Structure 1
Amino acid sequence: MAALATGSVLIVTEADDLHGDALATTLRNQHGLSPIRLDMRDFPRENGTFRLASDGTTRSLSHVMGLDDVNAVWWRRPQPCLVPGSSERTEDHYRQAECDGFLQGTLWSIPALWVNDPGADRTATRKIVQLETAYRAGCAIPETLITNDVDEARSFIASRPGPVIYKRTGTGRGAFTETRIVTAADLHRLPTIRHSPTTFQDYVAAEYDLRVVWVDGIEWAVRIDSQSGVGWVDSRLDTSVGFTPDRLPASVSKSLSTLMGALGLTFGVIDLRVGLDGEYYFLEVNPQGQFAYLEIKTGLPIFHSLANLLVLGDGTVLDR
């Protein structure tokens, strides 16, 4: 085995992230490369410095070696800095902003291949931006209302010819929240959306679901036989059903390519639902989505593809 290289790939994610572990292993096995791992919550417990001088720029974090040698970054799951609290809320906000501004600026200034660009990543996580961009890209979208107006929500639900689902609009960390069909009991709870804008959408009766891992134009599509298990509304709820590699129709691939280009994303995990009418409905794209289980279930070399992108600038896997 070739000697391990260091410092060319940076993985920014939680220390216990299994996806970060899997990519690090793949980089070692496929490219003889030992990546840098960074959990942003370690700052400011650890020291950091950015210096600009006549002979160039240097960046350093006391617990991370080789930042100035980084050629590619997987912006996997960044976190706010973990700043100790004080007795003054105003001071807490100030210190949090200063720490986040320093660490983000230090990292974002690295002239590397970013997967994904942090600005594009942040914008693309906004569900409304996704839906509008997907619509303009030619994707089929279930009719949707996102609102905190109780009367608007009640009117939308009453006007639809079939069932309506509801789901969260934000993407913050927290307990898993499933997509559910609106029931009579839910109608009595509609006033709670006043302080929590909610997504309402036509329920799509499905043949099956698809999860597509997009690696710079390469589609790793997996068919999920969701309708045979408990996840017939939300396919994330059941991993015991069948998972098989699949291919997308050319028209769907073209729309997804347009979507990802417009969002500025190199990488993303896309959820589609194939309706009983044969239409491929776009549900969402998660720039930081989960996909390790798809590789485990199907054997698709998704991590190999991502590693190739970060090291070679091309996610093609020649021996697939």
Structure 2
Amino acid sequence: MTTRQGSVLIVSESDDLHAAAMQATLREQYGVATLRLDLRDFPRESGSFRLDGSATTRTLAGLPGLDDVRAVWWRRPHPSRVPAGVRADDDAYRQAECDAFAQGLLWSLPARWVNDPGHDRLAHRKIVQLDTARRTGCAIPETLITNDPGEAREFIENTAGRVVFKRTGTSRAEFAETRLVEPADLDRLGAIRWAPTIFQRYIDPECDLRVVWVDGQEWVVRIDSRAGAGRVDSRLDISVDFSPARLPAAVSKSLATLMGTLGLSFGVLDLRVGLDGMHYFLEVNPQGQFAYLEIKTGLPIFASLAGLLAHGDSAVPGW
């Protein structure tokens, strides 16, 4: 297979196992060199952008060859890490300047982006996801996102069946699993005033589906969530059976429209198949985890994403 010259840049944490595995896949299966960048290394290590009449030259955190990058995996970017000074206002100014420089330098690269940073940022907003999914034909559980304790209580009391609650944001704070609302939680609803929360009708599962979307290629994994402890939130329950699956054509079409509308070429989607047979959209993570899905099922997800980064084709021969 012939590919054009240039490397692939992976922007992520320095200890990210997904990034390391992608480096190996690109090297071994596609013969493509990679660069790794943890934005927390800047401004401790310097960067520069030089422009003249004929060319540009970029360096950032000691990385050479940025101008020859063919594709960027915007995997798990961090803000720059600016040491604390004496005045908070000065720290905020320096942080803003460093972030503006690093992001501008990278985002100006004429490369294939997975995902485009602007689309990635917008798609991380749960309200944007849910509203877009509804408009593109996905089934959505009845949902309320609010910081109003009274409205939350009314939703919980008037929803047919049980209700779950979960985070609205996607920061790297401590992982918070989706939980059923219990009677004791009603006495703590006042806390949502300072932390808007998602409340949804609980869907009793036939199974859960985790879909790794790679530029139109669907890698679907069925999770036997009824068999394990994770019937409410199956994301961390690896004790149950995982198996390759397929989506109904109508569901696949809706997800394709959703991802296209969000402008994402990559994402990990969580669906729940209810006892009523409906496929309910729960969320999409533009930087979602998927290595364990490949380990569990043998699906060639890394090869698919590496193909997209290497030459713009996510299809894997033989699959």
TM-score, length basis structure 1: 0.98
Partner of residue 148, structure 1: 147
Partner of residue 227, structure 1: 226
Shift of 1:34: 2.0
Partner of residue 93, structure 1: 92
Shift of 1:237: 2.9
DSSP-derived class of the 1:162 partner = coil
Counterparts of 2:190 and 2:60, CA distance in 1:
48
Deviations 1:9-58 (A, max 9, x none): 00000000010011001001101122000000000000100111111211
C-alpha RMSD over aligned residues: 1.3
Write out aligned runs for 1:95-174 (5 A).
Answer: 95-174=94-173
Counterparts of 1:62 and 1:278, CA distance in 2:
51
Counterparts of 1:180 and 1:60, CA distance in 2:
45
Q: Is the 8 A contact 1:167 1:180 kept in 2?
A: yes
Write out the 4+ residue segments of structure 1 that deviate beyond 3 Å after TM superposition: none
DSSP-derived class of the 1:134 partner = helix
Write out aligned runs for 1:294-305 (5 A).
Answer: 294-305=293-304
**Structure 1 residues 62 and 127 mapped into 2: Cα distance closer, same or farther (>3 Å)?**
closer
**Structure 1 residues 62 and 196 mapped into 2: Cα distance closer, same or farther (>3 Å)?**
closer
Partner of residue 179, structure 2: 180
Q: Is the 8 A contact 1:85 1:92 kept in 2?
A: yes
Q: Is the 8 A contact 2:41 2:61 kept in 1?
A: no
Q: Which runs of 5+ in 2 are unaligned?
A: none
Partner of residue 22, structure 1: 21
Partner of residue 213, structure 1: 212
Number of residues of Structure 1 aligned to a counterpart in Structure 2: 318
Counterparts of 2:102 and 2:61, CA distance in 1:
13
Counterparts of 1:309 and 1:31, CA distance in 2:
11
Counterparts of 2:65 and 2:245, CA distance in 1:
40
Counterparts of 2:133 and 2:43, CA distance in 1:
39
Shift of 1:319: 2.7
Q: Is the 8 A contact 1:294 1:300 kept in 2?
A: yes
Counterparts of 1:90 and 1:61, CA distance in 2:
25
Partner of residue 312, structure 2: 313
Q: Is the 8 A contact 2:213 2:265 kept in 1?
A: yes
Deviations 1:38-94 (A, max 9, x none): 000000000100111111211112521210000100000000001000110000000
Partner of residue 196, structure 1: 195
Write out aligned runs for 1:29-108 (5 A).
Answer: 29-108=28-107
Amino acid at match of 1:135: R
Deviations 1:193-237 (A, max 9, x none): 000000000000010000000000000000000110110100013
DSSP-derived class of the 2:73 partner = strand
Q: Which runs of 5+ in 1 are unaligned?
A: none
Shift of 1:6: 8.0
Q: Is the 8 A contact 1:180 1:233 kept in 2?
A: yes
Q: Is the 8 A contact 1:6 1:36 kept in 2?
A: no
Counterparts of 1:63 and 1:51, CA distance in 2:
15
DSSP-derived class of the 2:166 partner = strand
Q: Is the 8 A contact 1:130 1:285 kept in 2?
A: yes
DSSP-derived class of the 2:235 partner = helix
Amino acid at match of 2:145: I
Partner of residue 284, structure 1: 283
Counterparts of 1:54 and 1:269, CA distance in 2:
42
Q: Identity, % of aligned pairs? A: 67
